[in-house]
Amino acid sequence: MERDKFPLKKLLLPILLAGLIFSETVNAGWAFAARKVIGRINQMTQDDSNGNPAFQLATVIIDAPAIKVYATAVNVVSQNQAITIVSQDSQNLKLKVTEGANTASLSVVSLGDKSSEMMISATAAPQSQDPSTSGVVDSILKICKQLNKVCKPGAN
């Protein structure tokens, strides 16, 4: 009976070591992927039935706690006298604002203790404005700058 247990013990250590090495490799892969997306601003524009830009959406992952990102966004908005806060939900980290006829909504989602995702959706700029500039991307860049984080528009 003792002989039957010996081969199992002999195999158990290599199996455990292989599992440990594999799990560390997977964690390293996730860490590498996460570093690639942090600070990369992704954006999308939704056109109306005539093909004109109607809505813009931008999102970014930031290596900062969600509550800090939200508080910074509220601070940035409060400093601009042309923007009116329509609603503010600090418990759910959501903010709605207007600037003239344009409206925007901001939402921050916690991705863990030290990272978050910020999303901004807004009515698109009028046809008379430069279409290459996106108000939602500019807003994210301002918030990132206040947070001392590097954010850049990604390839969309």
Do residues 84 and 99 make contact, with C-beta atoms less than 8 angstroms apart? yes
Q: Quote the pLDDT of residue 4.
A: 54
Comparing 2-11, 43-52, 106-115, the range with the smallest average pLDDT is 2-11
Q: Quote the pLDDT of residue 31.
A: 47
How many Cα atoms sit within 13 Å of 140 on the Cβ side? 32
* Those residues with Cβ within 8 angstroms of residue 136's Cβ, 6 or more apart along the chain or in another chain: 43, 56, 57, 58, 104, 120, 121, 122
Query: Tens of pLDDT along 143-152?
Result: 999 999 999 9
Mean pLDDT on 30-38: 60
Boundaries of every domain in the chain: 1-37, 38-153
What CATH architecture does domain 38-153 belong to?
Answer: 2-Layer Sandwich (3.30)
What's the mean per-residue pLDDT of the chain? Answer: 80
Q: Quote the pLDDT of residue 45.
A: 81
CA distance 87 to 74: 11
- pLDDT reading at 29 higher than 50: no
Both tokens assigned to 99: 């600037």
- pLDDT reading at 117 higher than 90: yes
- pLDDT reading at 101 higher than 60: yes
Query: Tens of pLDDT along 50-72?
Result: 887 778 888 999 999 999 999 99
